[in-house]
Structure 1
């Protein structure tokens, strides 16, 4: 008669043999994830998140090869144990048996075609929200998550990705994350039609991103803050590389994230530092070119004023709106906003700057109607003076704030040269030859002068000179 002890020993021996057989047939996926054999789907997902982050190769620069092996094991374990059919076959036959089609020595079709075939980095990216936390080339051609753009310090590059906080919802498994830049008033969403042209005059800072990419999501708050601080000084745009893949590839961004600056006359520049709002903002400010003429003498002022005499010139050295503006400042450096405006309005307005510390500054200021010493004593510097047609007699002091929006409105009020045309003084000695044909035509219109048959510059000059002579005779 078989005793209970014999039965128990037989069962125990069978279990041990089964475990040994399973171990001999491949990897122990339960041990790899650190879960029990009766773990449910939620426990398996939670374990995968933990182990994938623990063994991601970019967290082990000192031993990438070992980390990559562990990372692949974790991915294979999750892919198997998260699928009921695959898990059942694995429990019966182990990894090797399952690869063979459901039993040891089985064919290559069926289950084998779907077993462990997904790229472990693709799987990781899927958990991060579609697009992952970066990209690039990895060993064996696999896509790899890269953290070469820096972060907020420590493991900060992982923040916001993979359902670990900062931008994911419900652990990262409840659908796509919200748009990174939805409704942000300080960034411009760009596509191939709205992508900035190099001749726009502004410095553009552009974040090429993938909406579900954890690294991109970690960067977004800093980009938004930088955009707010750069308002009116530099433009900040974003390109969703999931929606505009071809544009991203054309701009040298096959895999986001990337931050690039576009400056007129220069090739695109990559931001390679540690991501912070201040770092991005300072980088952009340093890229803003200056087209501001420094005025330390009468000669320099005369050269500036010559650029806005008459306007209408096609050269970038001419001010088509016939306007010169001069910033009178006690500062030793040109403000970024003024530099930015000098580029944005290049060819339309000529920009000059008079520093109070410059030798001869008082005499130059006096020509513009500014008592430099009194302004310094009263703390009224900086100030801005507008000069139409190169004529300092009609120079006007700007009375608004020296901030982006009011300054832009002020400068735009001179658009097309119409405002300056109204300020031309038609008196004996006025050099009409310095004006373009368009400016002369506008002068006739502003003065209410008919010019029948006029089509050439000389025609308008004759009519205006007649008006000047009639005025002089009347006196």
Structure 2
């Protein structure tokens, strides 16, 4: 064969290969290449029902894409002339021929002939309404036609422009959780939830305020949003309308009726979240009782916040609610001098985890921010056993060092009360009923001599 002929064949092969590139319509419908009209229609009916957006309220965008592709495949393969061209040159070749005849889309995919759109085809086969109640359906909006990213068409209800996207859960509103009927807080929920029920007519500034709230709350309270256009029946059963806000705690809810700002939302939530799961520790006897109740709950089962403030922070209330029944939370407020001295607290806030209720085997972190507290607690719940093994070992070493360093002949009466208490704490000894300094001196002498 002459070189020129070989080159021509090579170029022809490359052109045919390029032309055949594109969607495999037979594969999209799940039929063989020799499928007849009945087989094509059967496959289309099955897949169109499966992927119709109204059948997939939780993933309308994904369903819309598949529904469009299935409709496109059936539109081509059910037309003998288009199918013949497609079999020869593929989707791209068919599109190019359509464009050459003035009937193609603009680089985004195949365009339906005439005024037909995928939902009109659906109604032609399934009847008006497509078998869906309420007569609601999607249509292609006018202008620009075509499938996929290159086409200018978009889906809309009733022939109007598609409602705008209210929340961008994967972008600027990523801290807000996307809720549905299947994913909605109930009595078994671990967290407290603040929920926004919205529609396409919701005020544009609301998602930004809700996102700011979610960022401010961090992990103390969950913030979610539910689309009442997609889940209209569920919203009706909940007796809510668009732009409604609710706080969900322990399976009950309360409607919010204040200003729609992040600051107002946060103030309301801070006031409503209960402090029932946080023990307010004022005296040593209360601490002892609190720690005794933790001994049977396992490692790192008691966590106490030492703070200079007099109000329970929202993050502590949220953590106590989330880990209710798993971790006992306590709070020592107002820089309590006696309890701070007992446990060697020098800075506020300081968080102390007591291993199995042992007041001497502790995991202590000072200057812990409210943003870092949830991660600290989660780490203790997950790795508490390992961390407490280390804490107990260190506490035992400290006791031995103190005991070895103390001389029974030391005149302990010359020591300050704080020093006597520290010695007793290091030795693992308590001074029950001690009121005067002399009581502590006597107890230290007994502990050192033991």
Taking structure 2 as the reference length, what is the TM-score of the superposition? 0.47
Taking structure 1 as the reference length, what is the TM-score of the superposition? 0.45
